[in-house]
Structure 1
């Protein structure tokens, strides 16, 4: 069975660059998008968790889609994060993203209100019916408070425009069951599970760490695809120290990615990292680059 990959394999959950004054920097977003594609990203996911969607307004989200679409042309998929806690608002953002040139939509489970599963299902179907774009569901219960349960996913898979899942559920068994029983494309949203999920039929990843290490993360998938599973495992292992510092050190991935990229400020309530943390991130990043080059040249 061929794994469906409606948005490619290697997707970056792109940061949203801001100017020193805290305004959307569309030109910087375009430059970053071009660089990420050059480093191996098949797709760019905008206005997700890493893109600071809770603190950007509707006009900024739409402007970001337009800027990135213009910058990368047709060389990469542009997936717009449109999920909110309101179905009506999500539909409005979805339609605006379609008009702005997005190739697909990332739709998170409605948060805070913690709707039951029948309401979750109805929300996703309403959004998917609102445009002609394919939809990637975003399952991240640690942030939303609500899981997209396996049985709900199995039902949603029958919708012609619901084609993918960004999986931050930390439930490899549940994910593998859905992969086995549907044509949904599963993208790892947790870098430490990129290779394990790929090995059970996942489509690839949507990664925050890819903002700074897209080439290294994609190399894991490339090695696995050519049958070099030991090499894939080793390459995956090399990324773990940086992944841990960026994603599991108590600091949000948005903050750590922007610190490494020097891509402008974060918006409050987020705060920038201190000098010691920046030095640790840079050391881990440099160690990854060194180890990666040594492995490839061995």
Structure 2
């Protein structure tokens, strides 16, 4: 499959079928900062590390990329840099979500203009909305762009769940092609309602295999920042019929995942990337440095995994 079939809709048996942006692992890449802004030299190194490591797509300016601390000009500049650096070797997906529909539209149109292959858009947080409001919000964004759109359902951060029936209604919009789903309990319902041509991606690294077993197409991953090859291989082994190998990899990652989520993401993953020798700096406030006991746990698990 061509990884950059951005939205290949084909007529099959009277039904339009959508190809996913990717099958496998998309790394939700961190953003390296220094005192004057983004460290683009290190960002380029991280992008090359992901591509060489087997990631099937790169998500920029997501939660892990600290997009919520980026002014719009910086946000779009990072997307543009990533798109140009990747140069269509894998899809670049841009986080462009907002709890203000107009703002989300502006960011999404700008991301398309600078070369993003698709966008990821989160459910509105803080002000929240109804299921009807969710449909209207995401439809307005999708209608404003031509590139594919992935919905992002993460109730633990937004205090708002997008119901399976709402996802089904949105899946009928041509360029809404997938959901990053963090509510594991409804994955099966989403797959049943939306059909096989609508991709469901795990939003949790510790639930990749459960989501795949219910019909998922892969993961948008935090841990892929440090283990891109294993994250990719876990998904591919499953699809190649090596279930035992896929399970073995999922089990191998669990202690590492616990350390990577000992504090709110992306505090631990940024510390982990620093431990691997990339100079990515610290998280922006209000996020703080990883506590010393959690840093020691992370260091131990990374040593056990063979990363440092």
TM-score in terms of structure 2 length:
0.89
Measure the CA separation in 2 of the matches of 1:187 and 1:160.
18
Match of 2:281 in 1: 264
CA-to-partner distance for each residue in 1:42-71, whole Å, 9 max, x for gaps? 111111111111111111111111111121
Match of 1:293 in 2: none
Instruction: Please say if 1:96 is aligned against 2:113.
Output: no
The answer to whether the 8 A contact 1:103-1:133 is kept is yes
CA-to-partner distance for each residue in 1:54-95, whole Å, 9 max, x for gaps? 111111111111111121111111001010110000000001
Measure the CA separation in 1 of the matches of 2:219 and 2:82.
20
Instruction: Please say if 1:288 is aligned against 2:305.
Output: yes
The answer to whether the 8 A contact 2:184-2:211 is kept is no
The answer to whether the 8 A contact 2:64-2:222 is kept is yes
**How far does residue 4 in structure 1 lie from its aligned partner after superposition?**
4.8
**How far does residue 225 in structure 1 lie from its aligned partner after superposition?**
2.0
Match of 2:184 in 1: 170
Match of 1:227 in 2: 241
Q: Alignment partner of 1:61: what SS?
A: helix
**How far does residue 22 in structure 1 lie from its aligned partner after superposition?**
5.4
Instruction: Please say if 1:17 is aligned against 2:29.
Output: no
Q: Which has the higher helix share?
A: 1
Measure the CA separation in 2 of the matches of 1:38 and 1:145.
37
Measure the CA separation in 2 of the matches of 1:51 and 1:284.
23
**How far does residue 3 in structure 1 lie from its aligned partner after superposition?**
9.8
Match of 2:126 in 1: 112
Structure 1 alignment gaps of length 5 or more: 291-298
CA-to-partner distance for each residue in 1:101-136, whole Å, 9 max, x for gaps? 000010000111120110111000000000111000
Q: Alignment partner of 1:5: what SS?
A: coil
RMSD over aligned Cα atoms: 1.6
The answer to whether the 8 A contact 2:20-2:177 is kept is no
The answer to whether the 8 A contact 1:3-1:203 is kept is no
Measure the CA separation in 1 of the matches of 2:258 and 2:296.
15
| CA pair 120-258 structure 1, distance change in 2 beyond 3 A | same
Q: Alignment partner of 2:30: what SS?
A: coil
CA-to-partner distance for each residue in 1:268-294, whole Å, 9 max, x for gaps? 00001134322321221221238xxxx
| CA pair 3-128 structure 1, distance change in 2 beyond 3 A | closer
The answer to whether the 8 A contact 2:99-2:128 is kept is no
**How far does residue 154 in structure 1 lie from its aligned partner after superposition?**
1.0
| CA pair 3-229 structure 1, distance change in 2 beyond 3 A | farther
The answer to whether the 8 A contact 2:24-2:236 is kept is no
Measure the CA separation in 2 of the matches of 1:71 and 1:18.
18
Match of 1:180 in 2: 192
Q: Alignment partner of 1:48: what SS?
A: coil
| Poorly superposed stretches of 4+, deviation over 4 Å | none
Measure the CA separation in 2 of the matches of 1:134 and 1:91.
14
Measure the CA separation in 2 of the matches of 1:3 and 1:98.
19
The answer to whether the 8 A contact 1:166-1:188 is kept is yes
